[in-house]
């Protein structure tokens, strides 16, 4: 894995080339999501394996356009960290969004930090930490 390869993953993700996106994930992937500030007593979400992972994005993207942009990027051996700026532009109401219900026309803009463990040039473990929300009027992607 290197920055150019990671940026190609982001490009595939932003253009919804799901078959290409899935090639970046190890079959034994574990993705650990941040604890929700809106509901801190809810159990943390962890996705193990590829089953359901693609479906999660296909479902979400029926309600919104999601776009990612890489800011800071660090790589040390099999560990990679990235600051990821993300915009969600909702074109349909989505009551089951992870941060709570959203309406058509809503825009959510956030920055998250992700730490990746790389194995066989694929993501084996991903840990997602929420950093901050941004003013939706600053959306630009």
Residue 34 pLDDT class (50, 70, 90 cuts): confident
Q: How many CA atoms lie within 13 A of 104 on its CB side?
A: 4
pLDDT at position 55 is: 87
* Segments making up each domain of the chain, as ranges: 3-35+45-138
Q: How confident is the model at residue 100 (pLDDT cuts 50, 70, 90)?
A: confident
Q: Is 12 left (phi over 0), alpha (psi -120 to 50) or beta?
A: alpha
Q: What is the mean pLDDT of residues 64-81?
A: 97
pTM for the whole structure: 0.91
The whole-number pLDDT of residue 46 equals 87
Nearest residue to 105 via CA among 113, 94, 97: 94
Per the CB < 8 A criterion, the answer to whether 2 and 24 are in contact is no
57 compared with 86, residue with greater pLDDT: 86
Q: Which fold has domain 3-35+45-138?
A: Nuclear Transport Factor 2; Chain: A, (3.10.450)
Please give the pLDDT value at position 37. Answer: 61
């Amino acid at each position: 894995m290197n920055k150019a390869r990671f940026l190609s993953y982001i490009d595939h993700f932003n253009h919804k080339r799901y078959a290409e996106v899935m090639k970046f994930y190890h079959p034994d992937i574990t993705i650990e999501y941040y604890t929700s500030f809106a509901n801190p007593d809810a159990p943390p979400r962890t996705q193990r394996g590829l089953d359901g992972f693609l479906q999660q994005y296909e479902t979400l993207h029926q309600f919104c356009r999601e776009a990612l942009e890489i800011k800071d990027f660090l790589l040390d051996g099999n560990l990679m960290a990235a600051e990821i700026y993300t915009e969600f532009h909702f074109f349909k109401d989505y009551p089951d969004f992870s941060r709570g219900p959203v309406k058509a026309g809503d825009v959510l803009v956030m920055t998250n930090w992700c730490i990746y463990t790389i194995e066989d040039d694929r993501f084996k473990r991903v840990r997602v930490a929420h950093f901050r929300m941004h003013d939706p009027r600053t959306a630009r992607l």
